[in-house]
Amino acid sequence: MAKNKYVGEFEFNASKKMLYPYFSTASGLAQWFADDVNINNEDKVYTFIWDGDETKAKLTSNRTNHHVRFDVVDEDDDDNNFFEFKIEMNELTQSVYVRITDYSDMDDEEANELWETLIHDLKEIVGG
């Protein structure tokens, strides 16, 4: 199946420091991103659970209050999926943006709909 790269940018009325735990911790991700999230601290593999289905992803890159990247662990796929959250600030307007990059099997419309819904949920939680 063909892979697509989705990039979305979402403005938040919250600080980078406040947002970062929602992208980097199991408890933060479980509040808006998945039904449940577990971490194997030894190898930094996160298990995301949606409707009883599990997806494993390895935390491959992170910088506190700036970005987090997860590479999906899938032995059947040579061209692995990944998703990345970058928290950026526009110095001129002091606005905080989250840029999401999602490289997966979803088409643009499907990915956009999914991320719009997820970010809406996160904004309700953080009040942003």
Task: Find the mean pLDDT for residues 66-88.
Answer: 89
pLDDT at 75: 67
Q: Are 100 and 8 in contact (CB under 8 A)?
A: yes
Q: What are the b/e assignments for 102-122, b being 16+ CB within 10 Å?
A: bbbebeeeebeeebeebbeeb
Give pLDDT tens digits for 104-120.
989 999 999 999 999 99
- The share of the chain scoring above pLDDT 70, in percent, equals 96
Q: Are 22 and 32 in contact (CB under 8 A)?
A: yes
For residue 78, name the pLDDT band (cuts at 50, 70, 90): low
Give the tokens for residue 112.
């956009």
| pTM, rounded to two decimals | 0.90
pLDDT score of 1 more than 90: no
- Other C-beta atoms within 10 Å of 44: how many? 13
pLDDT at 127: 83
